[in-house]
Amino acid sequence: MSEGIVVSDTVRVPPRALTVRAVRASGPGGQNVNKVATKVDLRVDLDAIEGLSDGARARLRALAASRLDADGRLVMTSQAERTQAGNLEDARDKVRRLVRAALVRPRARVATRAPVGAEQRRLDVKRRRGALKRWRTRPGGDE
């Protein structure tokens, strides 16, 4: 097996967390696609990733929710390249980008209020609109 995936100075995916399987790719490619297993199916055990904080691990699980298999492993496939080695590197890069995205802590939302003037203008517009609609109704009609 190859080496692990280095995401940052502190975060890495060890080789024991990776499982690689080569399968036949789908789509066009002539004779080559029928006889060469170039598509790569890379599975990553999320619990074995080293250096992730609890928050980052939770964000990673949320980001990878649609890509988890029955055992809770991340499934990353690639068939963009013509060679198995190219697809393996592409799949490893996809994992690296996903883990890196999970490391970014989202900014906390700061609750703000609309200015009093803006609120007043909004209510004035609503009042004028309502008056215009009332003016359009038939006089003395309750419907």
Q: Which two tokens stand for residue 21?
A: 């399987």
**Domains annotated on the chain, with CATH:** 5-103 (3.30.160.20)
pLDDT value of position 2: 63
Tallying the residues shown for the chain, one arrives at 143
Residue 142 has pLDDT above 80, yes or no: no
pLDDT value of position 22: 87
Distance CA(49)–CA(47), nearest Å, equals 6
Q: Where are the alpha helices (DSSP H) in the chain?
A: 31-35, 54-63, 84-103, 116-136
Distance CA(13)–CA(96), nearest Å, equals 9
Q: What's the average model confidence in pLDDT over 20-26? A: 85
Q: What's the average model confidence in pLDDT over 80-101? A: 90
CA distances from 49 to 73, 74, 95, 135 (A): 11, 11, 11, 68
**Which residues, in sequence order, are bridge partners of residue 95?**
none
pLDDT digits (tens, 9 = 90+) for 92-120: 999 999 999 999 999 999 999 999 999 99
**Which residues, in sequence order, are bridge partners of residue 21?**
41
Residue 41 one-letter amino acid: D
pLDDT value of position 24: 83
